[in-house]
Structure formats: C-alpha cells, structure tokens
Amino acid sequence: MTVRMDSNVKKQFDQLCQQFGMSANTAINIFVNQVIRSRSIPFVISATDDATERAEVRQEALNAFQAARMQAEVNEDNELSLDDINREIKATRKMAK
C-alpha cells in the first residue's frame, strides 16, 4: 500500500509514533487490524468549525489508537509478524501484476 500525505503531516505522525514507541508502519498496521476486527473506524469522524470539538475528536482518535495498540500487545497471537507482513506485501504485489 502506498499512502501520499503532506511531508509536514508525515513528519508529525512519525514523531508521534516514535513517542508511542513504534514506527509509522506499525501504527498503520495496528489501525488496519483494529478496523478489520471491529469492522468500523475506531473513532468518530465529523466535520466542525469548533476548535474545542476538533480537539475532542483528536483526543478520541488518540485514545482509540492507544487502546488498539494495547489490545495488539495483549493479543500477540493476532498481531502480524514481520514475516506475515512481508508475505502480504508479496501477495499484493503478485495480484497487482
């Protein structure tokens, strides 16, 4: 999977992930696995002009992300290993050809 984003956003995300003790790659995999497990986006997505409400949404997203990370640590059997991730990448590349 390739994701395009603003370089400043990527830098901020990388720094935040580093504070969480993980790579951006790991964070994205945790997010994807949580979406699959819950069959939903694990935080509220809404549009608003109110800065306070946006901050609350960001905090909810952070809380959901941290909960997903903790769940992944508890359920190590469900977490993808590096070999699993590499197999998925190879399979995806084969399908793309």
Backbone angles phi, psi at 21, to 5 degrees: 85, 30
CA separation for the pair 5, 27 (Å, rounded): 15
Note the pTM of the prediction, 2 decimals: 0.46
- What DSSP string describes 15-83? HHHHHHTS-HHHHHHHHHHHHHHHTS-SS-----S-HHHHHHHHHHHHHHHHHHHHHHHHTGGGSPPHH
Tell me the CB-side half-sphere exposure of residue 79, using CA atoms within 13 A. 15
Backbone angles phi, psi at 22, to 5 degrees: -145, 165
Query: How confident is residue 12, by pLDDT bands cut at 50, 70 and 90?
Result: very high
CB 68 within 8 A of CB 30: yes
pLDDT of residue 14: 93
pLDDT digits (tens, 9 = 90+) for 33-72: 989 988 888 887 766 667 777 788 788 888 887 887 777 7
pLDDT of residue 81: 72
Query: Which is nearest to 49 in space by CA: 57, 39, 60, 37?
Result: 57
pLDDT of residue 61: 82
Mean pLDDT in residue range 20-24 = 90
